[in-house]
Structure 1
Amino acid sequence: MPLSKRIETAMGQALSLSQDPLAPRKLASALHYATSPGGARIRPTILLSVAMSCGDDRPALASSAAAALELIHCASLVHDDLPCFDNADLRRGKPSLHRAYSEPLAVLAGDSLIILAFEVLARAIPDHPDRAAQLLLSLTHRSGMPGGICAGQGWESEAKIDLSAYHRSKTAALFIAATEMGAIAAGHAPEEWHDLGALIGEAFQVADDLRDALLDEQTLGKPTGQDDLHGRPNAVAQLGVKGALDRLSQILAGAIASIPSCPGEAALARMVSHQAEKIMPSVPAKYRV
């Protein structure tokens, strides 16, 4: 089964847990709106790619982990777009959830997706007690405090921002979760997969900084210029366009070099390279010479 189909099947199964004839219909609809269309599904793709490189001996568990991770990511986007944070009107080329459904429903939808993510993993505990428990802890650690995506948002309220800690929490955390959870789902130690996730996350943060600075709203499918508007630290402001591009290339090379020895090492390196290719064309050609 192609990874994309595997991910969408797992997402559909997860969302079905939130559907009930007695549930509020608008909120149920908002959950689907927040998770589809799914964008690149990069984080669950990385998770499953790592699981497959490690043998993928429990594919149902890996698929559940992939869905749980993507649900957390989708929830973070819903909350990021709220007026109290980015106040964004667009997400993935369509109205952001709070614009389409209202702010109260956006808050509730984001909260519901977070809870659903942990329910998906909790339901896997009876069949896979040790690994599912590890997966729950990994996702919890990378979602909250002190170093998860909640901490990433929290840094934006500080008078002085530690750029490295900010990026590590805001963006890299869920990529670290992707590589660690992929290893855990396949019965491998997560620690040796930390650096790969951290480097991929750093690369995507630099790429996102470049897109925010260089692209227009129509091309990107969401508001641009947000870093300058909100005074957020970013790689373009710190390094310039050329410096940020050079840094991006260095990080991606380091990510490939950091892949632990495993049966699927070559295939995983190709996946990382493919993701890198998807990043670079989004930067206007004149800046890539």
Structure 2
Amino acid sequence: MDIPARIEAAIHHAIRHGQGDTAPPRLASALEYAVTPGGARIRPTLCMGVALACGDDIPELTDTAAAALELIHCASLVHDDMPCFDNADIRRGKPTIHKAYSEPLALLAGDSLIVMGFESLALKAYLAPERALELIRILGKRTGSPYGICAGQGWESEEAVDLSAYHRAKTGALFIAATQMGAAVAGQEAGPWEELGARIGEAFQVADDLKDALCDSETLGKPAGQDVINLRPNAVSELGVEGAVLRLKDILSGAIASIPACPGEAALAQMVRKQAERLVPERVPG
């Protein structure tokens, strides 16, 4: 089974478990709606790519780790789109959860996906208890505060923003989780993999800032121009378009070089390079 198929199967399994037989029907429906269509699944793909590069000796736990990471990511999108944050109407080309199901169900769906991510790891802990605990630790650290996506969202409420810290928390956190969880699930030390995740995460955020400024809503599959509308700190406002493009290319040039030595280093470098090529928006100078 290839990487995309493994990821989708694991996510499907987690959602079905979360829905159970007695969940409120509309909440159960909202859970599946929140994770489909799946988008690029970049974070779980990266997690699984690192695991494969490091040996992937317990595939069932790898699949669960990748799915748990994506469930947290999807939960963050549900919450980000709500009126108290971005107040977005469209996500991945369809109405956002709070538009399709209501604000209360959006909040509950996002919360449920977060819990579901951690529960799925706990349910597979019997496969390798120490590894599972490390996976839960990493995912918890990169979800909450002060190092995770909650902290990243919190930066948007500050008058003075450290753009690098903001990007590292809001977007970089789950990319760091992806690379570190990929290593940990294969029984490797997570620490050396932080730099790769941080670089890819920052590059992804700069690319997202560029796309938000340069692309239309139809191209993005979500509202465009949100950084300006919401007075959100971003690379384009700080560096300009050309400066942001140069920053993006600089980050990406160091990402592949930061891959720790591992049996599948060459294949992983190819995967990272392929993902990096997709980040640069078409409508940019240079």
For this structure pair, what is the TM-score category when the shorter chain's length is used for normalisation? over 0.9
CA displacement at 1:232 relative to structure 2: 1.2
- Counterpart amino acid of residue 189 in structure 1: E
| Distance in 2 (alpha carbons) for counterparts of 1:134 and 1:279 | 30
| Structure 2 residue 159 is matched with structure 1 residue 159 | yes
| Structure 2 residue 202 is matched with structure 1 residue 202 | yes
| Distance in 2 (alpha carbons) for counterparts of 1:27 and 1:105 | 6
Percent identity (aligned): 64
Per-residue CA shift, 1:38-78, capped at 9, x if unaligned? Answer: 00000000000000000111111111000000000000000
Paired residues for 1:242-261 under 5 Å: 242-261=242-261
Aligned to 1:288: 285
Paired residues for 1:160-175 under 5 Å: 160-175=160-175
Per-residue CA shift, 1:136-174, capped at 9, x if unaligned? Answer: 000000000111000001111112111111111000000
| Distance in 2 (alpha carbons) for counterparts of 1:239 and 1:20 | 48
| Distance in 2 (alpha carbons) for counterparts of 1:250 and 1:163 | 16
Q: Judge conservation of contact 2:203–2:251 (CA < 8 Å) in 1.
A: yes
Per-residue CA shift, 1:190-209, capped at 9, x if unaligned? Answer: 00000000000000000000
| Structure 2 residue 262 is matched with structure 1 residue 265 | no
Q: Judge conservation of contact 1:72–1:114 (CA < 8 Å) in 2.
A: yes
| Distance in 2 (alpha carbons) for counterparts of 1:114 and 1:57 | 26
| Distance in 2 (alpha carbons) for counterparts of 1:274 and 1:263 | 19
Aligned to 1:65: 65
Per-residue CA shift, 1:93-133, capped at 9, x if unaligned? Answer: 00011000000000000000000000001111122100000
Query: Partner of 1:40: helix, strand, or coil?
Result: coil
- Counterpart amino acid of residue 178 in structure 1: A
Q: Judge conservation of contact 2:156–2:233 (CA < 8 Å) in 1.
A: no
- Counterpart amino acid of residue 288 in structure 1: P
CA displacement at 1:283 relative to structure 2: 3.0
| Structure 2 residue 84 is matched with structure 1 residue 87 | no
Aligned to 1:231: 231
Query: Partner of 1:21: helix, strand, or coil?
Result: coil
CA displacement at 1:19 relative to structure 2: 2.1
| Distance in 2 (alpha carbons) for counterparts of 1:127 and 1:112 | 24
**TM-score normalised by structure 2 residue count:** 0.99
| Distance in 2 (alpha carbons) for counterparts of 1:267 and 1:127 | 27
| Distance in 1 (alpha carbons) for counterparts of 2:237 and 2:127 | 49
- Counterpart amino acid of residue 180 in structure 1: Q
| Distance in 2 (alpha carbons) for counterparts of 1:218 and 1:47 | 29
Q: Judge conservation of contact 2:183–2:189 (CA < 8 Å) in 1.
A: yes
Aligned to 2:193: 193
**TM-score normalised by structure 1 residue count:** 0.98
| Distance in 1 (alpha carbons) for counterparts of 2:259 and 2:97 | 37
Aligned to 1:215: 215
Aligned to 1:176: 176
Number of equivalent positions: 286
- Counterpart amino acid of residue 249 in structure 2: S
Aligned to 1:98: 98
| Distance in 1 (alpha carbons) for counterparts of 2:20 and 2:249 | 47
Q: Judge conservation of contact 2:58–2:185 (CA < 8 Å) in 1.
A: yes
Aligned to 1:139: 139
- Counterpart amino acid of residue 203 in structure 1: A
Query: Partner of 1:160: helix, strand, or coil?
Result: coil
| Distance in 1 (alpha carbons) for counterparts of 2:18 and 2:55 | 31
Query: Partner of 2:33: helix, strand, or coil?
Result: helix
Q: Judge conservation of contact 1:68–1:116 (CA < 8 Å) in 2.
A: yes
| Distance in 1 (alpha carbons) for counterparts of 2:130 and 2:13 | 22
Aligned to 1:114: 114
Structure 1 residue runs of 4 or more that deviate by more than 3 Å after TM superposition: none
| Distance in 1 (alpha carbons) for counterparts of 2:15 and 2:22 | 15
Which runs of no fewer than 5 residues in structure 2 stay unpaired?
A: none
CA RMSD across the alignment: 0.8
